[in-house]
Chain A
Amino acid sequence: EDQVTQSPEALRLQEGESSSLNCSYTVSGLRGLFWYRQDPGKGPEFLFTLYSAGEEKEKERLKATLTKKESFLHITAPKPEDSATYLCAVQDSGNTPLVFGKGTRLSVIA
């Protein structure tokens, strides 16, 4: 059974204090690993898809990396507007649905 574990559950950063969020996963064969951002009361907003170990993608202050067992979302010099819950999801090689982790709740304090 596919499993996704995100850590930490919550993270509080000062503005400008860089950090990383972790997503550990177990799948029989990875088709894709997805990162989403979710603001309160809204649906998840797509950030990145990673397909193979060693792949990296960047968007503004965010950089996602992938190994065979985990993915990291690095946040460089965060701003208060980066405060949100960040969700990780995996899809295995069959036509199976996304399996989500429970998310990391990020707060960036000015």
Chain B
Amino acid sequence: KAGVTQTPRYLIKTRGQQVTLSCSPISGHRSVSWYQQTPGQGLQFLFEYFSETQRNKGNFPGRFSGRQFSNSRSEMNVSTLELGDSALYLCASSARTANYGYTFGSGTRLTVV
């Protein structure tokens, strides 16, 4: 059974640019969550999508956005990149049934220079 796939694994962008990250969840999982991980703040919740609808949103500026497609694949976009956006971006998928868990991908390491 394939796990959660995130692409690309590494990305270097210049301040002011925009970036799009992709996440393919485990087959059959309809919920996809995104987290930002930095050494100082740990894992911070960005947003969650379920059946193409945003279910929850974290406390991040509007430069961070996401969407989910009908096949449950998800993308997140960050516009007007800032140096502080450098982080590991993690995607997690879940079946969202009773007694479910969240499976994480390996993440995308974004460096803004």
Contact = CB atoms under 8 A, between A and B. Distances in A.
A100 B109 CA distance: 19
Contacts of A46: 101-104
Count class of interface residues, chain B: 20 to 34
Interface residues of A, number: 21
Interface in B1-50: 4, 6, 33, 35, 41-43, 45, 48
Among B4, B48, B101, max chain A CB count under 10 A is at: B101
- Interface SS of B by simple majority: strand
Interface stretch (A16-24, A64-72, A74-82, A90-98): A90-98
Interface string A29-68: 0000010100001111110010100000000000000000
Contact of A34 (B55, B101, B107): B101
Interface of B: 4, 6, 33, 35, 41-43, 45, 48, 55-56, 58, 88, 90, 92, 99, 101-107, 109
Interface of A: 34, 36, 41-46, 49, 51, 87, 89, 95-103
